[in-house]
Structure 1
């Protein structure tokens, strides 16, 4: 169970476009900013934050992992 406010994971978004995922995530949890992570990005901060959701996408911009707060 997360100590963050609101919905904390979006398994239903795997396979949709990253842009659409960002819209859904930020609509369903107004406490977070969803950030698209392209496959070419080799580094993301490792700190856990309740106001951030990483949205990992492939070369076609499709979500490849379950977006989670962190």
Structure 2
């Protein structure tokens, strides 16, 4: 149900880019309460809470693009599928 995303550009977004996402994307933009949860469960909670976004599981260490997308939430997971970073819109 949830896809993983791999691309060939830079690492995670800077703090400034996170603030920009919060300013341009209405509604809730981060889910700190999901760190430590199972990634699949976290993605489902995000999509249930904010139906206009697609939660994507991203394995730690994956290189990603940095463009801002208000309809995407990256859910960083470790090798066990556990969320390791705060999922954020962008």
TM-score (norm 1): 0.89
Query: Number of aligned pairs?
Result: 69
SS in 2 for 1:21: helix
Larger Rg computed on CA atoms: 2
Question: For the aligned residues, what is the CA RMSD?
Answer: 1.2
Aligned to 1:12: 33
Large movers: runs of 4+ above 6 Å: none
Q: TM-score, normalised by structure 2?
A: 0.71
Q: Please state whether the residue corresponding to 1:12 is helix, strand or coil.
A: helix
Q: Structure 1 residues 5 and 31, CA, compared in 2 at 3 Å: closer, same or farther?
A: farther
Deviations 1:5-51 (A, max 9, x none): 33211000000000000100000001100000012x53211101100
Higher percent of residues as helix: 2
